[in-house]
Structure 1
Amino acid sequence: MKHDHSPVLPGSGATDYARYMRTDTLLGLQRSPGEVIHRDELLFQVVHQSAELWLKLAAAELAEATDRVDAGELSVAEALLVRATLAVRLITDQLDMLRYLSPVDFQAMQPALGNGSGAESPGWRQVQSASRKLGRSFDGQLAVRGVPAADLCPADLSDPLHRLAEAMVEWDERVSLWRVRHYQVALRIGGHPPAGTPGSPVNMLAKLAGHRFFPELWQVRMHSTADD
């Protein structure tokens, strides 16, 4: 029996896969061979464009997790936060692709980047905003339940509130690891002087590596360890 694979979805593309995934648009977002000034621009764009997509997903998961926290659905919020955390782990791993971009090659392609900076990433800004909102919602749940942050127990995995707190710490840690890896890549391929050198572009990256969205949850862990 012959199957009809003719596309039924609206839009451009020879197949429904192409139409649903919008592959014509997606694969046309990179600079064309006639535009590039260095062959590794494709590598650089693919790594960063895919990171923007994962960050978009992470921000969406965080936003819904925040709504679930507000609704008291802490276990659902935890599961969504785990998904967001995996997205950040994936963009951290893909930075390994930039190990194959030498400082000489990066400098050769820099004119194509203009004054662009990773700090201008819209995905990252969305993640920052969503993380802060999640923190405020979590604090609101603590207040509603009459639980001081200091009373949270990292070892108590039977309570959804404690499990969510642990998932938030894991999110914070994964974001920090991504920042550290980003900093190392900037040193390796950018030819930048180390952090602390006046005028070094990586000073901000190094400073942000120690930032935490949920510092009070880290304090709880430190105090729990000290009490053991």
Structure 2
Amino acid sequence: MIVPGRNGSAQADPGISSDAERNVRVMESDGDPITDFTGASTPYIDYQSIDVLLSLQRPRSDAPAELTFYVMGQVKELLFKLIYEELERTRALLDGDSVAEAAVNLRRLRRVVELLNGTWNVLSTLTPNEFNGFRDVLGSASGIQSYMYRMVEYALGNKVAALALPHRQVPHVHAQVQRALHEPSVYDAALRLLARHETPLPPSVLDRDFSQPYEPNGAVERAWAEVYRGKAATDPLPQLAEALMDVAEGFSRWRSLHLLTVERIIGFKPGTGGTEGAGWLRRVAEHRFFPELWTSRGLL
């Protein structure tokens, strides 16, 4: 059977296989892979949209190193999308009091962040001359304009409204970014859960304008300290606290690696997006997501 392709072309019908069907295929083929498909495609190409994905790399120079920079940028964007969706799911789990499941989700998310951090290991292999070979074609394009990354920052709680402004002229993007800006972060959801299950927290923490930057609070710091002090490490709330810290630490590593990579490749030149470059990134690297989880250690 042939089904319509994304652009009207014929696709191989991937079907829906069961374990029983797969066992029959293995017996019929003596365990060799399937190589005969109807249509003008394969189920894997169609499932992953591989032909579309691999058509999206469009470097603007002849510099060989630009493809590395370009592909790593697209990999980061895909991972930002995955991270944002996982953060949204984690927030919903916290709102539903599914503490253990939320912690499991956050631990998987930390692995995704580690993969994201690995992109800097690749980009740091670019020499200054290689990067300068295509840097000018970027114009004013900069990762600071990544709307998926901005949504990730907002979902984590770093609400800087001014950094949503670049997307005002792209309506469908602007709407997504604004929604992320105004929604509670995953940390807000964790604090509401903490207030429901442990220590009442001030209204200024729980009932606030979520589009505004979060201000650390001493009551929250003490509440997290009590979670660590009063429960076994295997209990759901300490597990959640450590899973949140895993993600926060992972993103701190991301920012530090970004700074180091920029310093290694361009030194202290201004960034393409209008910032001073390394100086801007150094200030950003000092920020910590979920601040009271860090400072509560001093109370233990």
TM tier, smaller: 0.7 to 0.9
Unaligned runs of 5+ in 2: 1-27, 158-184, 200-222
Q: Does 1:140 align with 2:192?
A: yes
CA–CA separation in structure 1 for the residues paired with 2:35 and 2:141: 47
1:19 aligns with 2:46: yes
Q: Distance in 2 between matches of 1:96 and 1:44?
A: 12
8 Å Cα contact 1:152-1:220 kept in structure 2: no
1:183-202 residue pairs with structure 2 within 5 A? 183-192=259-268, 200-202=276-278
Question: How many Å separate the matches in 2 of 1:7 and 1:187?
Answer: 52
Contact 1:59 1:84 in 2 (8 A): no
Match of 2:122 among 77, 83, 97: 97
1:95-134 superposed matches below 5 A: 95-132=120-157, 133-134=185-186
Give the 3-state SS of the residue equivalent to 1:152 in structure 2. Answer: helix
Is the counterpart of residue 166 in structure 1 residue 197 in structure 2? Answer: no
Instruction: Tell me the secondary structure at the aligned position of residue 148 of structure 2.
Output: helix
Find 1:73's aligned residue among 98, 109, 123: 98
Aligned amino acid, residue 242 of structure 2? E
For 1:192 and 1:5, the matched residues in 2 are separated by 56
Aligned mates of 1:177, 1:48 — CA distance in 2: 18
Cα RMSD of the aligned pairs, angstroms, is 2.1
Q: Give the one of 116, 136, 150 matched to 2:225.
A: 150
Measured after TM superposition, the shift of residue 94 of structure 1 is 2.4
**Shift, 1:102, TM fit:** 1.0
Q: Which structure is higher in helix share?
A: 1
Change (3 A) 1:118 1:109: same
Counterpart contact for 1:183–1:206, Cα < 8 Å: yes
Residue aligned with 1:169, SS = helix
Question: Aligned residue pairs: how many?
Answer: 214
- Structure 2 residue identity aligned to 1:187: E
What TM-score comes out, normalization by structure 2 length?
A: 0.66
Structure 1 contact 99–185 (Cα < 8 Å) conserved: yes
Q: State whether structure 2 residue 58 is matched by structure 1 residue 31.
A: yes
Larger Rg: 2
Matched-pair contact (CA < 8 Å) for 2:267–2:278: no
Aligned-residue identity in percent: 32
CA contact (8 A) 2:224 2:293 kept: yes
Q: Give the deviation of 1:15 after TM superposition.
A: 0.8
Separation in structure 2 between the aligned mates of residue 4 and residue 17 of structure 1, nearest angstrom: 12
